[in-house]
Structure 1
């Protein structure tokens, strides 16, 4: 009789034990895994000299930019290019999403107005599960100069005033001191000289090495891939594919980044440098420049 009682007890309690076990398994399955922590930004600023970095603004953060290039250093009379022809750009970017930053800029040379966007596609994590960052940067620029008969290259239609730039930025923060990036790009001008390609493919290498908590050595190298070499006798200039090289220092605080450097790139917009640069760093066509950025968080 006791055996029958034990069997009845087991049969009666078994469904409840099974149900409790299933509930525990479901509860374990629904436990939220901890979110991957993102690696600290690879760079202090959204630019490393002339090329964009992988840095995007936080949501609702505003970055104000001022970029200045002095003239080519010729001799003592021009005070190291300070009395020479200068180029300057004022701009701002705003984080509309934690992965998307939109911007607007105004440049003195050619009276450019540019609209730009930066999108974080992949973001490096501290665990190493995602070892690198991949970011897209693009812009469209409008040449705002008054129409003249001597304008070179000639602008015949409104669409001739537009140029475009697209770049993918692969970046990695190796440790607290060293960050590097590799960035292929394509530049496009609607109006170019006859016989000249409208597009220019290039690659850029940039890096930063911190020597103190707030000071870093920065370097930026840009190499055009598609080649051309034209003797433009009409304006007396010769356009060749001189690569861009910039070396300098960066000083950062919690909200500011100040870059001081020497470079052979006088244009500030990336497509301007990649397509129209005539300066050869190793021939002495060197100038002083600086970038200042300030972040405001709202």
Structure 2
């Protein structure tokens, strides 16, 4: 009789033991996957990366002059440069806010990023989805603007990313740029889509690709000397990234001279395939509090 009681208790407890093990297994497997990218920026576009709460990111972005900008420019190093210095702070694991100032145009941008969906290790959720946006003020002095609102521009982007493996990640990011005031041949809004990827070639080194394609088309402009200016060229950026847990350095070539995204999408006239590209770098450093 005693043996029967032991067997009966074992059968009664077995489902609870199995269920407990399955729950424990699911809780481990279904944790969020690691971010698809190392840095919050993929050369010219934002990524899915959101830092832990109370993390401060300090960023410096630099663009030298165009390589074909002159005969005595030393590949653009002696030409006019563009620089942005920015800070961003993680108020929550899924919410980051920041501020940056850019040399060209004296642009002051207030930006934010929100994590909407996170890829899980079990692939039950196969994608990361994030929203990035900014509000930018052109702070140049003078009477170039009729009203204060003419200085304002906005940018909104939804980022779909996936970490296919520890070494390969990819993202697609549709966006809309808006300027309150534009030239007569432009529209106030421009839709665009960006494609970006990262391939790790060593534990600290990755190859980066960032491609930005305008969808809304603007008319070509005929200049006084008869030349044609085209505002519909895609942005093409190729580079390498060296990263650690709290630091990332990206070195690249790009035809985007601007750094604030709506400036790139709306006002770029450089043709990458015509040699209108430049050397740039991004440096980030994170501080945890």
Same topology, TM > 0.5: yes
Query: Alpha-carbon deviation of 1:34?
Result: 2.9
Matches within 5 A, 1:27-106: 34=27, 36-74=30-68, 77-106=72-101
Native 8 Å contact 1:70 1:84 kept in 2: yes
Native 8 Å contact 2:185 2:218 kept in 1: no
Residues 178 and 119 of structure 1, relative CA distance in 2, 3 Å threshold: same
Out of 119, 123, 139, which is 1:144 matched to? Answer: 139
Q: How many residues align?
A: 268
Q: Distance in 1 between matches of 2:35 and 2:113?
A: 15
Task: Determine helix, strand or coil for the equivalent of 2:120.
Answer: coil
Which structure's CA Rg is the greater one? 1
Structure 2 stretches of 5 or more lacking a match? Answer: 1-11
Query: Alpha-carbon deviation of 1:40?
Result: 0.8
Matches within 5 A, 1:266-285: 266-285=257-276
Native 8 Å contact 1:229 1:238 kept in 2: no
Q: Does 1:207 align with 2:202?
A: no
Native 8 Å contact 2:185 2:219 kept in 1: no
Q: Distance in 1 between matches of 2:286 and 2:50?
A: 11
Matches within 5 A, 1:1-298: 34=27, 36-74=30-68, 77-148=72-143, 151=144, 155-231=145-221, 233=223, 238-298=229-289
Query: Alpha-carbon deviation of 1:72?
Result: 0.3
Query: Alpha-carbon deviation of 1:127?
Result: 1.0
Task: Determine helix, strand or coil for the equivalent of 1:124.
Answer: coil
Query: Alpha-carbon deviation of 1:284?
Result: 0.6
Alignment RMSD (CA, Å): 2.1
Q: Distance in 1 between matches of 2:161 and 2:58?
A: 23
Query: Alpha-carbon deviation of 1:41?
Result: 1.2
Query: Alpha-carbon deviation of 1:115?
Result: 0.4
Native 8 Å contact 1:232 1:239 kept in 2: no
Scaled by the length of structure 2, what TM-score is found? Answer: 0.88
Instruction: Tell me the residue number matched to 1:7.
Output: none
Structure 1 stretches of 5 or more lacking a match? Answer: 1-20
Native 8 Å contact 1:161 1:191 kept in 2: yes
Scaled by the length of structure 1, what TM-score is found? Answer: 0.85
Q: Distance in 2 between matches of 1:138 and 1:232?
A: 33
Native 8 Å contact 2:83 2:102 kept in 1: yes
